[in-house]
Homo-oligomer: A and B are copies of this chain.
Amino acid sequence: MTFTTRRKVRFQHCDPAGIVFYPRYFEMINSVVEDWFAEVVEHDFNRLHVESGTGVPTASIETRFHAPSRLGEVLEFRLTPLATGRTSLKLRVTAYRGDERRLTSDSTLVFVDLASGRPLPWPDAMRRHFAMDSQ
């Protein structure tokens, strides 16, 4: 149940030390979550945010950077759902170059109504795509 996609380390991601500046990793991680919602959960971010007035803000995120990534490298990102709550979702995202793990990031998203900011229960149409590995 792991979703996989790739990102190239671009000039815009790298700092004066020639390695990825860590806030740019969070842009990549968010884009991986975005692709997963579009391709696996079948609710793209435009539909979620603009048409439905809902959002999936990140409530917490815990990330370890195992080794630096350099300009021009292609990273494989893997996203796995870890646990589903009534209104929340815990995800693990890892990035690899070949066999070398570059980062591990565990985050908790919450499904919210954008106008009120209040958590909403996941609709079944979304929840049924959050299949866990044990299923």
Q: Name A's B-contacting residues (CB within 8 A).
A: 10-12, 14-19, 21-24, 26-27, 30-31, 34, 38, 44-47, 49-50, 55, 57-65, 68, 70-72, 114, 117
Indicate if the CB atoms of A23 and B17 lie closer than 8 Å.
Answer: no
Indicate if the CB atoms of B16 and A44 lie closer than 8 Å.
Answer: no
For A117, the closest partner residue in chain B by CB is B68
For A9, the closest partner residue in chain B by CB is B46
How many copies of this chain sit in the oligomeric assembly? 4
Indicate if the CB atoms of B62 and A63 lie closer than 8 Å.
Answer: yes
User: How many angstroms from the CA of A50 to the CA of B71 in the assembled complex?
Assistant: 9
Indicate if the CB atoms of B57 and A71 lie closer than 8 Å.
Answer: no
Least CB distance from A103 to B in Å reads: 10
- With A49-B71, A68-B117, A71-B45 already in contact, the answer to whether A58 and B22 are too (CB < 8 A) is yes
Least CB distance from A105 to B in Å reads: 10
Select A65's contact among B34, B59, B65, beta carbons within 8 Å.
Answer: B59
Indicate if the CB atoms of A11 and B15 lie closer than 8 Å.
Answer: yes
For A11, the chain B residues whose CB sits under 8 A away are 15-16, 21, 30-31, 34, 45, 49
For A114, the chain B residues whose CB sits under 8 A away are 17-18
For A46, the closest partner residue in chain B by CB is B72
Indicate if the CB atoms of A30 and B57 lie closer than 8 Å.
Answer: no
